[in-house]
């Protein structure tokens, strides 16, 4: 099981804090936006005598409400086409376990969410990376690159849209290209849509907006980022393929039921005002604009403008991002402060890639982002492994 590239530097951050260093955490997608009060109140005010198992597919009342939520974003499904999961993570795991046998292969454009590697290892399947490039903002690689990797063991393609770690927002044309290839080779398309609400230029095209591929498409979803409820651990597996849902249901029954309190929270969240996301999206867009501007103003740094989510990938004039990110925590400080970043090497499946790239999660307020960028700017001037 691979170590998390996002969390492996935590001991160094903890040690820095013990030395009295303030650490600005841009390494992990933990929003600082407050979880909506009405969501938390729904849990606080819940009244029942026994904390029972729910239905293995999740509470019927929640699934019915999710039908209306999905309809609001142009996705027409029924409650029987939704299985509530323990976070988006379990939805991804269920997809791998139900659709791929041990030894099968899944194609994923890289850089990709690092935990896909862990889910693949647990399911006994192999991740085949297709490289996208920072120079064009991590657009979908050419379809010919996908076709070159497809063989008898290939069963699925995974995308994250908007993307983690790049923030890239796939266009309608790119989604149609993916539709054509999954039809041509009869593959599943797993679409991780955790950041659906956070698109800054353009509109998110869901995999379930595609027509004629109902049996091939699966959405993996979560409330974690949408409502700033990462600790709730509630997600959803959404699919119109009845046979696949029947298979996934067996895995859902094996783990009995998803968390009860968090289902109450998720259900309450659907009743938030229609304009709830306007404020949070505007805040993230302001942060994005600032961090991209600050990064591109630094000598030797390039950061494409991400279209969604709350991540940016930047290319730095450094020799090794793993060494650099550890050095920031162990050996650097700027007026008693430093910044924690995620080295991009852990988001690539191809050995040796991402060594000059880092991921930054703009989940801090504007003032803290400016201070974090001050730290990074000074660090790049002092880092002994700086390159031209």
List pLDDT tens digits, range 277-301. 999 999 999 999 999 999 999 999 9
- The verdict on 260 and 284 lying in the same domain is no
pTM: 0.96
Which of these three, 269, 295, 321, is where a domain ends?
Answer: 269
Query: 388: pLDDT confidence band, cut at 50, 70 and 90?
Result: confident
- The arithmetic mean of pLDDT across residues 131-135, rounded, is 98
Q: Which tens digit of pLDDT belongs to each residue from 35-86?
A: 999 999 999 999 999 999 999 999 999 999 999 999 999 999 999 999 999 9
- The verdict on 63 and 88 lying in the same domain is yes
Question: Would you say residue 317 lies in a domain?
Answer: yes
Question: Would you say residue 5 lies in a domain?
Answer: no
Q: Which tens digit of pLDDT belongs to each residue from 289-333?
A: 999 999 999 999 999 999 999 999 999 999 999 999 999 999 999
Contacts for 179 with CB less than 8 Å, ≥ 6 apart: 189, 210, 212, 213
Which of these three, 246, 269, 292, is where a domain ends?
Answer: 269
Question: Would you say residue 4 lies in a domain?
Answer: no
Can you point out the beta strands (E) in the chain? 22-25, 82-85, 105-110, 126-131, 154-160, 188-192, 217-222, 235-239, 311-315, 337-340, 342-343, 357-361
- The verdict on 27 and 71 lying in the same domain is no
Mean of pLDDT over the chain = 97
- The verdict on 248 and 359 lying in the same domain is no
CA–CA distance, 125 with 148 (Å, rounded to integer): 19
Identify the CATH number of the domain in which residue 22 sits.
3.90.1150.10
- The verdict on 235 and 103 lying in the same domain is yes
Which of these three, 269, 286, 321, is where a domain ends?
Answer: 269
Query: 372: pLDDT confidence band, cut at 50, 70 and 90?
Result: very high
Identify the CATH number of the domain in which residue 203 sits.
3.40.640.10
Q: How many CA atoms lie within 13 A of 97 on its CB side?
A: 19
Residue 63: closest CA among 51, 75, 81? 81
- The verdict on 131 and 21 lying in the same domain is no
Q: How many folded domains does the chain comprise?
A: 2
Range of the domain at 169: 37-269
Contacts for 16 with CB less than 8 Å, ≥ 6 apart: 23, 329, 330, 333, 338
Residue 9 has pLDDT above 90, yes or no: yes
Question: Would you say residue 335 lies in a domain?
Answer: yes
CA–CA distance, 179 with 176 (Å, rounded to integer): 5
357: left (phi over 0), alpha (psi -120 to 50) or beta: beta
| Bridge partners (DSSP) listed for residue 130 | 109
Do the bridges between strand 337-340 and strand 126-131 make them parallel or antiparallel, or are there none, so unpaired? unpaired
Cβ pair 346, 352 in contact under 8 A: no
Q: Which tens digit of pLDDT belongs to each residue from 213-232?
A: 999 999 999 999 999 999 99
């Amino acid at each position: 099981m691979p170590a998390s590239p996002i969390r492996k530097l935590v001991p160094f951050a903890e040690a820095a804090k013990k030395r009295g260093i303030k650490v600005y955490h841009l390494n992990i997608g933990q929003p600082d936006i407050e979880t909506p009060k009405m969501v938390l109140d729904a849990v606080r005010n819940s009244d029942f005598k026994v904390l029972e198992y729910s239905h293995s597919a999740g509470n019927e009342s929640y699934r019915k409400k999710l039908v209306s939520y999905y309809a609001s974003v142009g996705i027409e499904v029924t409650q029987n086409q939704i299985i509530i999961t323990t976070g988006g993570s379990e939805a991804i795991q269920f997809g791998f376990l139900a659709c791929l046998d041990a030894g099968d292969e899944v194609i994923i454009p890289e850089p990709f969410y690092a935990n896909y590697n862990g889910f693949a290892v647990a399911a006994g399947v192999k991740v085949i990376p297709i490289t996208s490039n920072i120079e064009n903002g991590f657009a979908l690689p050419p379809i010919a690159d996908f076709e070159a990797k497809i063989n008898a063991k290939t069963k699925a393609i995974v995308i994250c849209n908007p993307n983690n770690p790049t923030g890239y927002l796939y266009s309608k044309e790119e989604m149609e290209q993916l539709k054509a290839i999954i039809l041509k080779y009869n593959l599943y398309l797993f679409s991780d849509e955790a950041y659906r609400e956070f698109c800054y230029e353009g509109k998110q095209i869901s995999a379930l907006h595609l027509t004629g591929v109902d049996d091939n498409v699966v959405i993996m979803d979560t409330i974690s980022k949408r409502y700033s409820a990462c600790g709730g651990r509630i997600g959803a597996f959404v699919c119109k393929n009845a046979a696949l849902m029947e298979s996934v249901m067996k895995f859902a029954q094996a783990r009995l039921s998803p968390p009860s309190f968090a289902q109450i929270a998720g259900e309450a969240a659907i009743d938030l005002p229609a304009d709830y996301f306007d404020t949070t999206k505007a805040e993230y867009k302001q942060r994005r604009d600032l961090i991209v501007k600050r990064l591109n103003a630094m000598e030797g740094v390039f950061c494409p403008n991400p279209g969604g989510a709350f991540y940016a990938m930047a290319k730095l004039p450094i020799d090794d991002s793993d060494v650099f990110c550890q050095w920031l925590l162990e050996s650097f400080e700027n007026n008693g402060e430093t910044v924690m970043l995620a080295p991009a090497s852990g988001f690539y499946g191809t050995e040796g890639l991402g060594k000059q790239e880092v991921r930054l999660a703009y989940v801090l307020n504007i003032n803290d982002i400016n201070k974090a960028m001050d730290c990074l700017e000074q660090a790049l001037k002092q880092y002994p492994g700086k390159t031209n």
